[in-house]
Structure 1
Amino acid sequence: MVPVTERVQNLAQIEKLLSSHTLHGSESLCKLLRYLANHSMDHPGLSPKEYQIATEVLGRQQDFDPHVDSMVRVQAGRLRTKLAEYYASEGADDQIMVELLKGTYALAFHPRTHGAGRNHANTSQEAPNNLQVNARTSRAWIVTVVALSVVLASAVAVATDRFLNRKIAEARLASDNPDVPVAFHVFWKGFLTGPQEPWVIFSNAAFVGRPYVGMRYYNRAKDSGAAILDHYTGVGEVLAVHALDSVFGRLHQQIHVKRGSLFSLDDAKNNDLIFIGSPSENLTLLELPNTQEFAFKQITSGPRTGTMEIINFHPESGEPKEFLPSLPDETLAEDYSIIALKRGLNPAHSVLILAGATTIGTQAAVEYVCQQNSLEELLLRLSVSNSGELKPFEAVIRVKVAKGVPVSSELVALRKSPQ
């Protein structure tokens, strides 16, 4: 155990780091730093195991295998980078330096001798002023150079580790799943080789009113927050989550499922995301890089008032300017859905949007990318070979509905993104 006084000082430095601008918004890194700090205080000089960190801190399951999942190494690399950034900027005058040495997960705490040297220089009457200034300048220069070197080395290490991990994961997927159709590997590859499992965000819209007197969507402009009765999810979204879980299960990949009402932009920064449901219900979609060719819009007048339509911003020959589902006072027989792959807030990550004008259309959009025949058709239309890479795109499908069930889907519009 670390002596009490030293422990208090070290943990105070950790709290300063956790509340710093450098680590602001990095919830997973803050959690990792706190865990490593406590472990260092309780077991000085001993490094926690990668498996411990993965299962106790980062939420990995008990079958975590560090040989095929580099998440812990990636997060440790990011933490090293952030620590270097902190001490090169807002923490330049801190008396204690916290360091995560490469090759270990044990935190090291070092007194900052340059602070003591600065105090000594101030009290010395014999040292010339110009020597004091030169000494401080030299120390600052050395600290800056060392910090920048650490940042660069950490960034290169993280990038290299991610690249190697993706290649290892791709090879593992190909060998572990020989019976899974190639189309599944090609379409979902970008969501299978990342350091963390993809997040599935399902719509969970706010409603006001009561079931026995009528309910409607919450209107931010008209309703107070207290008017919200509850958040509801459509049947189509529920079945969609099940379909995705089945596909990812065949591909030996877990998914992290979260309802849209609890999703934050901080979650969007470091994860591959799959959104189930339109922006009218999955409101976070409005704040993320969204579709440019096709977009949902609520009709505000006429017999279709309240209905969601899909706007076609650049209609090609034979295409309508909008795609409209069945009239609201008729039994739903036809719906339209958007399937779009976009770059995330962090361009290294992807966002897949699967959304219908109704909950049934959303179900159909997910089923379209979870079935071999439709996936093969989509990849063919996108000119993606079995060994090719899927680029961003936007598509619209027409959905035929019978007795509340999507019975067939047809690709009716497709745009390849220039990105």
Structure 2
Amino acid sequence: MTEKALFHDQIDKLLSSHALHGSESLCKLLRYLAAHSLEHPGASPKEYQIATEVFGRQQDFDPHVDSMVRVQAGRLRTKLAEYYASEGAEDQTVVELPKGTYGLTFHPRPHGAGRNHVASAHESTSNLDANGRTSRTWVIAVIALSVVLASAVAVATDRFLNRRVAEARVAGDSPDLPVAFHVFWKGFLTGQQEPWVIFSNAAFVGRPYVGMRYYNRAKDSGAVILDHYTGVGEVLAVHALDSVFERLHQQIRVKRGSLFSLDDAKNNDLIFIGSPSENLTLLELPNTQEFAFKQIISGPRMGTMEIINFHPESGEPKEFLPSPPDEALTADYSVIALKRGLNPAHSILILAGATTIGTQAAVEYVCQQDSLEQLLLRLSVSNSGELKPFEAVIHVKVAKGVPVSSELVALRKGPA
């Protein structure tokens, strides 16, 4: 029987189990997530997709207001745990819904787990009692040997530099995480300091109840500046990055753009969330050469951010434009770029959209397996290869303020 057939059988067992008996909504959700996981390995469906395609919500569904999908996912997660703790304790295939994602996972039960493991442990205990003194002699010998080995390991480990320790951690940790994540994020995991995430934090004048606009240095001299706002896309982007780095066993340091300085940039790997129009420090750092953000200053699109394509290749436009400002946002464009830092030993990753929704999509693109694998394939980076500087543009489809799909539409490989 193929692996896919085994997974289908396991889903059928779950659907007919006592744990899910009488819960048609959870069964429907499980069927959908299982089909999506098997058809699109590594890709997590969007909350908006689940709401409209599984639960029949209308097209105006807003996941920021309606938590129905998250609640149902939490219920399903609990039911799966309940099943494997009782009637599914002997099953060889385990189905899980990890927290922070809607991507269902399948994996074999660890060797020795389940009720058989309990019986084996009891039998082993009986054998130890029967062997008596011989077992105790072996235990003492094992403990002594362990002490000697631990001392040797401690001495050897102390001779390695921090970077080598970090690289060893990258190679050995998170064996369940797809290789693409290790390849793409390796440069942000081996430094002596945790990577910094800098989110856009534009300067505004005015007040929310009378109207706000971007600060203009020429017009607003002496005006009170409000620099404590950011976009919803940036908030969700920080959450997505934090989830990925947690799985990679790496902490991140988060800082708003208005408090970031060039001194911070010299000795750290940096991840910028948001375009230079709002993340102003980017203007003082090594920036993109092929694709750049520019604000349209006249005409019906005045004030809109566009992405300029300095060297269009065949079939590419000279600029990438989001939806017009007087229409609902249905299309956006984002830049994903990896650059060398002020110190070439460090890296700068830029994840920025023409709007805050595009910024969210850019971050999600590098936090999901299928899109990461596509990007690495286009960059000709193997599983054991090294990621070099690059610049890319993605086209983002948006529905009701939620990025529902992204497509790589332009790519440039930078110098090594």
Residue 337 of structure 1 pairs with residue 334 of structure 2:
yes
With over 3 angstroms needed to count, the CA separation of the structure-2 counterparts of 1:215 and 1:378, relative to structure 1, is same
With over 3 angstroms needed to count, the CA separation of the structure-2 counterparts of 1:162 and 1:303, relative to structure 1, is farther
Corresponding position of 1:186: 183
Task: Select the residue among 192, 214, 221 that pairs with 1:195.
Answer: 192
Corresponding position of 2:394: 397
Corresponding position of 2:140: none
Alignment of 1:79-98 (within 5 A): none
Cα distance per residue 1:130-152 (max 9 Å; x no partner): xxxxxxxxxxxxxxxxxxxxxxx
Corresponding position of 2:68: none
TM norm structure 1? 0.60
Contact 2:334 2:395 in 1 (8 A): yes
Look up the equivalent residue of 2:360 and give its one-letter code. Answer: Q
Corresponding position of 2:350: 353
Task: Select the residue among 269, 273, 276 that pairs with 1:276.
Answer: 273
With over 3 angstroms needed to count, the CA separation of the structure-2 counterparts of 1:341 and 1:212, relative to structure 1, is same
What is the DSSP-based 3-state SS (H/G/I as helix, E as strand, rest coil) of the residue aligned with 2:203? Answer: strand
Corresponding position of 1:221: 218
Alignment of 1:45-64 (within 5 A): none
With over 3 angstroms needed to count, the CA separation of the structure-2 counterparts of 1:163 and 1:353, relative to structure 1, is farther
Structure 2 unaligned regions, length at least 5: 1-157
With over 3 angstroms needed to count, the CA separation of the structure-2 counterparts of 1:370 and 1:222, relative to structure 1, is same
Q: Deviation at 1:185?
A: 0.1
Corresponding position of 1:298: 295
Contact 2:310 2:318 in 1 (8 A): yes
What is the DSSP-based 3-state SS (H/G/I as helix, E as strand, rest coil) of the residue aligned with 2:184? Answer: helix
Task: Select the residue among 303, 310, 323 that pairs with 2:320.
Answer: 323
CA distance in 1 between counterparts of 2:390 and 2:219 reads 36
Contact 1:343 1:349 in 2 (8 A): yes
With over 3 angstroms needed to count, the CA separation of the structure-2 counterparts of 1:352 and 1:230, relative to structure 1, is closer
Alignment of 1:112-123 (within 5 A): none
Corresponding position of 1:253: 250
CA distance in 1 between counterparts of 2:170 and 2:304 reads 42
Residue 204 of structure 1 pairs with residue 201 of structure 2:
yes
Cα distance per residue 1:149-188 (max 9 Å; x no partner): xxxxxxxxxxxx9994333322222222110110000000
Look up the equivalent residue of 1:380 and give its one-letter code. Answer: L
CA distance in 2 between counterparts of 1:358 and 1:371 reads 20
CA distance in 1 between counterparts of 2:253 and 2:284 reads 21
With over 3 angstroms needed to count, the CA separation of the structure-2 counterparts of 1:327 and 1:181, relative to structure 1, is same
Contact 1:166 1:193 in 2 (8 A): yes
What is the DSSP-based 3-state SS (H/G/I as helix, E as strand, rest coil) of the residue aligned with 1:228? Answer: coil
CA distance in 1 between counterparts of 2:226 and 2:409 reads 38
Task: Select the residue among 267, 270, 275 that pairs with 2:264.
Answer: 267
CA distance in 2 between counterparts of 1:286 and 1:225 reads 23
Corresponding position of 2:58: none
Q: Deviation at 1:212?
A: 2.1
Look up the equivalent residue of 2:208 and give its one-letter code. Answer: P
Alignment of 1:75-154 (within 5 A): none
Q: Deviation at 1:374?
A: 0.2
Corresponding position of 1:387: 384
Contact 2:189 2:250 in 1 (8 A): yes
Cα distance per residue 1:26-80 (max 9 Å; x no partner): xxxxxxxxxxxxxxxxxxxxxxxxxxxxxxxxxxxxxxxxxxxxxxxxxxxxxxx
Cα distance per residue 1:362-396 (max 9 Å; x no partner): 00000000000000000000000000000000000
Corresponding position of 1:63: none
Contact 1:334 1:401 in 2 (8 A): yes
CA distance in 2 between counterparts of 1:222 and 1:230 reads 17
Contact 1:162 1:195 in 2 (8 A): no
Aligned length: 259
CA distance in 2 between counterparts of 1:332 and 1:226 reads 31
Task: Select the residue among 165, 171, 183 that pairs with 2:162.
Answer: 165
Corresponding position of 2:53: none
Structure 1 unaligned regions, length at least 5: 1-160
Identical residues among aligned pairs (%) = 91
Q: Deviation at 1:331?
A: 0.2
Corresponding position of 2:412: 415
RMSD after superposition = 1.5
